[in-house]
Amino acid sequence: MLTYPPRIEPSTPKRLFIVCPFSQLETFLSARFGETSYFLTAAGSVLFLEPIKFTNALEDFLIREAIEEIAVVNEWSSVFIRNALNEELEPVIETAQILHKTYLQHREDILSDNTFENRCRQLAFLNSRRQLSELLKNVSIGKIIQSKNIQLKCLVVHRRQNEILITEFNKMAASNES
């Protein structure tokens, strides 16, 4: 994992951050990653690549803006992440169901962390990784990511603690998992 310095140099690449609107991370991320930051919001940072109009609009945006990096951002202290770890809560909305399913798929590994905060960080990372895998698996978006050599990153943040953990996403390993 990499931790970025407080401010990135002005020659930064054009980035698309996929963020949860409830975390209100846009200003926090712009201050650290520069003016060439774009934001796509989705509850719990869970994108649904349907309907096709959305996918087409995302494809068009990636090409038109010459995006060089996509980062899925999860605030590990978000209510979506915390609630997904609560086995007594029955998730109602689809975003919560996906996060809870991700937790259940990795339950043993997540529970091996000794603190609730670390469990939240791990689930946030796994959700970022899951979402990037979904983008790559989408035929048209995956093709653009590969052909334009768009870099993929998982960001796990805690805005109030000024914490940003960044992990490069290995596109080759992800395509081998499919």
Q: What is the domain partition of the chain in residue ranges?
A: 15-177
Quote the pLDDT of residue 93.
Answer: 87
CATH number of 15-177: 3.40.1050.10
Q: What is the pTM of this model?
A: 0.85
Quote the pLDDT of residue 114.
Answer: 83
Quote the pLDDT of residue 16.
Answer: 95
Quote the pLDDT of residue 34.
Answer: 83
* In the block, residue with structure tokens 């990135």: 8
Q: Which long-range contacts (CB under 8 A, 24 or more apart) does 166-170 make?
A: 166/1, 166/2, 166/3, 166/4, 166/71, 167/1, 167/2, 167/125, 167/128, 167/129, 168/2, 169/129, 169/132
Quote the pLDDT of residue 177.
Answer: 54
| pLDDT per residue as tens, the chain (178 positions) | 444 445 544 567 899 999 998 889 998 998 888 878 899 998 888 888 877 888 899 999 999 999 999 999 999 999 999 999 988 888 888 889 999 999 999 999 999 988 999 999 999 999 999 999 999 999 999 999 999 999 999 999 998 888 899 999 987 766 555 4
Q: H helices of the chain, where? A: 26-33, 52-64, 79-84, 94-105, 107-111, 116-137, 139-147, 171-177
- Cβ atoms of residues 137 and 95 within 8 Å: no
